[in-house]
Amino acid sequence: MIPASVVIALLSLLTEPRELADVPSVRSVFTALLRRSHYGYAPEQAAFVVRRPNGTLAAVHWPAGELRDGAEWIGEYPPGVIAIAHTHPGWLPLPSRIDRATASRSRLPVYVITATSIAKTDGGEPIVVTSGSWSPESRRDRTARSSSSFVFVSQSQRE
């Protein structure tokens, strides 16, 4: 007899959209990464997308590092990893050369998340999966910014 967890995992594979970025739980992971990166204005944020034994998808967030323009994972990949996702600033919406090399080496798709697009690579040429304002949070954030004014104060101006 086939264990129930295996049946659930197989059924979820059959009912999920073909593109990982279209799965609602993965979109939630992407939105969380975007929020943690302050919509591309803070250091990059990264996570593994993992399939749990029961078939559900979840994230394993990478620890914050010292890199401003990158993210680094040291150690073994977590069990069930099926993709790598990380943020880029808005002006860099496509996977970099390093992202393509990472995808080739790991044999995992690498997703690049910005407020206006989701792109991926499997090691080859980048593919834009979604363009436009894909995240409800990024749409709300831009609406709020357009209806109010902000004054940015540097640390030296505060003192």
Per-residue pLDDT of the chain (159 residues), as tens digits, is 777 666 566 555 555 557 899 899 999 999 999 999 888 888 889 999 999 999 999 999 998 766 667 788 889 999 999 999 999 998 999 999 999 999 999 999 999 999 999 999 999 999 999 888 777 665 544 444 333 333 333 333 333
At 150 the pLDDT is 30
Q: What's the token pair of residue 154?
A: 């540097």
Q: Write down the pLDDT at residue 156.
A: 35
Strand ranges inside the chain, DSSP E:
46-51, 57-61, 81-87, 110-114, 117-121, 127-131
Report the pLDDT value the prediction gives residue 50, as an integer from 0 to 100. Answer: 95
The strand pairing partners of 114, in sequence order, are 117
Q: DSSP code of 20?
A: G
